[in-house]
Chain A
Amino acid sequence: MPRIIIKGGVWRNTEDEILKAAVMKYGKNQWSRIASLLHRKSAKQCKARWYEWLDPSIKKTEWSREEDEKLLHLAKLMPTQWRTIAPLIGRTAAQCLERYEFLLDQAQAKEGEKDEGEDPRKLRPGEIDPNPETKPARPDPIDMDEDELEMLSEARARLANTQGKKAKRKAREKQLEEARRLAALQKRRELRAAGIEIRKHRKKRRGVDYNAEIPFEKKPAQGFYDTGEEELPDYQPDFKKLRQDHLDEKMRDDIEQQERKKDKEKIKKRKENDLPGAVMQINKLNNPDSVKQRSKLVLPRPQISDTELEEIVKMGQASETARLSVEDSHIASNALLSEYSVTPAAAHALRTPRTPAEQDTVLQEAQNILALSNVDTPLKGGMNTPLKESNFEGVTPKHQAIQTPNMMLTTPYRTPQGAAGEGATPRMAGTPHRSGGGVTPGRASVRDKLNINPEEALMEEYENGYGAKQQQEEMKAQLKAGLASLPAPSNDFEIVLPETDDGGAEEVTDERFIEDAADIDARKMAMKEAEALRERKRQSQAVQRNMPRPSDVNVTVLRPANIDPPLTGLQKAEELIKREMVTMIRNDVVNHPTALQIENLTQKKTKNAMQAVLASNRAALESEPLEVFTEKEIANARQLLGGEIEFVKSKMAHGDLPIESYTKVWEECFAQVLFLPTQQRYTRAALASKKDRLESLEKRLELNRTHMTEDAKRAAKIEKKLKVLLGGYQSRGVGLTKQINDLYEQVEQAHTEKETFRSLREHELRAIPKRLESLREDVSRQTDREHQLQSRYSNLLYERDALYSQIPQQ
């Protein structure tokens, strides 16, 4: 009894691949031959597999909405005729059926009649798939069955058969063809060498060039999205060495571990090389104070500042309070004080109108079909099954076009508006007016209680024509009616005179008057300046005139307090004056240091000495402070002094001293002042010995020399700097001068040339008529000569003719 093998079952990946290869080899008409390659599948199943799944023209993408619509519509028109419907939709019949059932399931679920958790069509364990041809292939197990492997190797051998009769014949033919081609090539080459050019004519080949084109090629169907421009990486893997880990991305843990290892090594290395640096870095990282420095967050300036916002809020509050203060909600005040805190209800009308809700036609159709299929026998009678709108009009389903709601076609400016809707009969304007600006037509301002906007807009609309006039008249009438209700005016006034007199009022204003801050500042400044001036006046003359002042006080001018012969009155007075002078100088030293003093203070070398001097003077000044005098006292003192000077002058008979004599005297006196370097003091020249004088002079010369060298150095430095600074200018100046000189020479030369040419021209101008004259003379002379010769010749001719006439007579 022959063993019965039932073929079929789920398709595997190997089987699919073999099937595809076999179809490539044998075509789509030898299914039994193809099936012989696959032990577990029959010819029919192979064919089904090809046409239901493997054919590259099968669309395996998602179902689109149009396809769904079409499917339902066609299913309605041609129930259960899937083979007819399928090509119309562009899917396989099985796909169509599956989708149809899926859609019906969905519709049923929507109705909520059967609410099952899971898909009823899903295979339960133990069930056998009735049509495995339409399902994706099952992946191959790692350890394939013996017979499967056998099948695979056999299929491979058969499909790639090169040892058969036909293959051998083909190879032979190919070889022959090649030899023929080479011979032809050789022949042509030789002919060309011999000078005979044979144009190579291509033999028109019959059949298909398998290298150039793919026979019966069917490109896979397009999906929803255009993948043409996708850039895939040019990845050509080396399959021989490829392992799974190469394809997988690296594990994150591994990467982190590697990085950690690297860090550790780095730290270790650093510790070896630069221990303090490493420790410092660790400390720095551990230090909580070291916060990462971040740059400041820079945001754009707000368009409305806080103060402005506050202002707006305040304004709103102000209007609110104003509204509250008007207790009775009078209409007029209401119109003026509109409420801004709440957007009025009319705002709902401000919404952008949306498109009408779209009906899910697919679902509707599916429900219809479901209802029709679930219907009882019509023999029962009764009402027809209620159907939702469904049409059988065409082959294709009717499309519902979604329309954008037209804002333009609504009646302009006359949309009903809340309370003002009394006169809101929609006006039909002849042509809808298109307003050009940003105004949304048809929507007037929400809070326009004074009717400002719409009327303006209306004016604009009815600019020309009767409508405008009518509108205006209407308005006028309305206004008149409104004003008619006003009470008649009664001209009774009450005048109240102000009670307080003008002066008081003025004072009040003066008190309220706030002086400008700038004025106050200016006044303060002026006061300060005056104070400073007064202060300056109080200072000593030397400071006031900014004269050279001593940096220390010579106390030796003072006589010792108690010497043996008591001082005379005059000496006492002198002493008092000196004391005062010393105090004044001290004050100047401490409080008004000269430039030299300041410089000395800032310099390191002289700083300490200078500070010591200052401190001692300050101490002395504290023990004997400078008396402060009022201006009046000083003026009095000055007056007294002046009077004294005048008195002395008149008594001693001093006249006005001319400056020359004064200078002379001063110079003589100055010449007498001599510095003694050995004793470090000044003395009078007359009192010094010759040696001292010589020494003093030598010292001065020495000093001058040092000054000289310093100055010379300074001058040299400045000169060097100037050379750098002005060198460029100088060189440019020199260059320019040279160019100018060259140009001068050229100009001179050119000038000479010009003059030469001019005189030459004059010469030539004179020469031309002269030459012409002489030539003309020559010519006329020659002409005369010619004339003479001509006449002579004519005479001769005449004579000859006469002679000739004599000859024939003879």
Chain B
Amino acid sequence: MAAVHEVAPDALPYFDQGYDDPGVREMVNQLVEEETRRYRPTKNYLDFLPTPDYDAFETPILRKEFERISKRQPMDLLSMKRYELPQPTANQKHDITSWTEAVDNSMAQLEHQAERIENLELLSQYGSAAWKVHNETLTRILAQQQKKLMDIKKEIQEINWKRKTEQTKAGGELQHLEQRLVFLIFWPLAVICSRSIVSICQLHCTIHLVDGPFTC
């Protein structure tokens, strides 16, 4: 089977013709299908790659999450406690510690809120500039990518161009040889020979009718 795969295709698409003939495409597709069905990749076809390190970016939180996912447990609901300032429950109404807790919580959250406002103010001050810079960077990246794409496309074109020139060059020779071959094959020399043999035989007969028995 490996030997079969070793066969390298020697098609020269820029020179050869007949790809567009009806039926050819179907035939090719059939061939490809057959090939895919037949193709059994060996187990170690990725041997040349280094063994992957799956834990490179794993943090404890990620690991925990992976565990949770593997156990198919739902995600914990987001704690909304931060966004409300609850009073102590009714049965804790007279508990000083719970009240203190509530007050402390409120203080902490006020601090959070203040921070949030501060951040927002900073954003309102520098946000537009930052966004502008960000967008500029993005546009630059875009331009780079476009250039890269263009370059690659150009390279592809160049390769194809080279292929075409090479193939047409070789094609000329091939065609010449093929014509010669066809000429040689269909040159009816053998027929002529056989005819001349027949005529010779006839001559022999005429001679030998006079002369003697026919020997040829």
Contact = CB atoms under 8 A, between A and B. Distances in A.
B127 A722 contact: yes
Kindly state the interface size class of chain B when it binds its partner.
Answer: 35 or more
B156 A754 contact: yes
Interface in A706-745: 707-708, 711-712, 714-715, 718-719, 721-722, 725-726, 729-730, 732-733, 736-737, 739-740, 743-744
Given A779-B184, A806-B207, 10 more contacts: A697-B99, A711-B114, A722-B127, A725-B128, A736-B138, A750-B149, A750-B152, A789-B189, A793-B192, A793-B193
B173 interface: yes
A764 interface: yes
Contacts of B96: 690, 693-694, 697
A771 B193 contact: no
A767 B185 CA distance: 24
Contacts of A624: none
A775 B174 contact: yes
Contact of A694 (B10, B99, B116, B190): B99
A712 B135 CA distance: 30
Interface stretch (B28-36, B65-73, B139-147): B139-147
Given A697-B96, A729-B128, A771 B203 contact: no
A754 B155 contact: yes
A29 B145 CA distance: 105
A753 interface: yes
Interface of A: 690, 693-694, 697-698, 700-701, 704-705, 707-708, 711-712, 714-715, 718-719, 721-722, 725-726, 729-730, 732-733, 736-737, 739-740, 743-744, 746-747, 750-751, 753-754, 757-758, 760-761, 763-768, 770-772, 775-776, 778-779, 782-783, 785-786, 789-790, 792-793, 796-797, 799-800, 803-804, 806-807, 810
A757 B200 CA distance: 61
A800 B200 contact: yes
A736 B139 contact: yes
Contact of B8 (A690, A715, A719, A766): A766
A722 B138 contact: no
Contacts of A772: 170, 173-174, 177
Given A776-B177, A793-B189, A796-B193, A757 B116 contact: no
B10 A770 contact: yes
Nearest to B183: A782
Contacts of B204: 803
24 contacts: A690-B96, A697-B100, A701-B85, A701-B106, A708-B85, A715-B113, A729-B131, A733-B131, A740-B145, A747-B148, A754-B155, A754-B159, A761-B159, A763-B8, A764-B163, A764-B167, A767-B9, A768-B10, A771-B174, A772-B177, A786-B189, A793-B189, A800-B203, A807-B206
Nearest to A695: B99
Contacts of A767: 8-12
A707 to B, nearest CB: 6
Closest 6 CB pairs of A and B: A767-B10, A729-B131, A782-B184, A704-B106, A736-B138, A743-B145
Contacts of A761: 159, 162-163, 166
A792 B156 CA distance: 56
Contacts of B24: none
